[in-house]
Amino acid sequence: MDHLIDVPEYRSEEGLRFVWDDDFEIELRVTATEVVVKANRAGLTSLARHLLTLAQQGVRAGSHVHLTADQEIESDVDLIVELRETG
């Protein structure tokens, strides 16, 4: 089964655009030895779309998506995913 994810095209003049699926749920739990991301299908698809958005050509290193605790994700801490320099 193929699962196609529509990713907004990156345009430097508009910046990054992050799109959420309806009814997404994402939980984040951090312990001393692991980080657990738990989500429903809409949450996993939304997170995948965010990662693909960051991975597009032209997106500058340091660009990131910031998921805020108790807003976008259920957690005691924020989750930041950042594009790093290649090499």
Q: What six digits make up the tokens of 69?
A: 């605790």
The predicted-structure confidence for 21-80, as pLDDT tens digits, reads as follows: 999 999 999 999 999 999 999 999 999 999 999 999 999 999 999 999 999 999 999 999
Q: For the chain, how many structural domains are there in total?
A: 1
Query: How much is the pLDDT for 85?
Result: 85
- Tell me which residue range forms the domain holding 12: 1-87
Please say if the pLDDT value at position 83 is more than 70. Answer: yes
HSE, side-chain direction, 13 A CA sphere, residue 22: 0
Identify the CA nearest to 37 among candidates 5, 82, 77, 7.
77
Please say if the pLDDT value at position 87 is more than 80. Answer: no
Pairwise pLDDT comparison (55 vs 3), residue with the higher score: 55
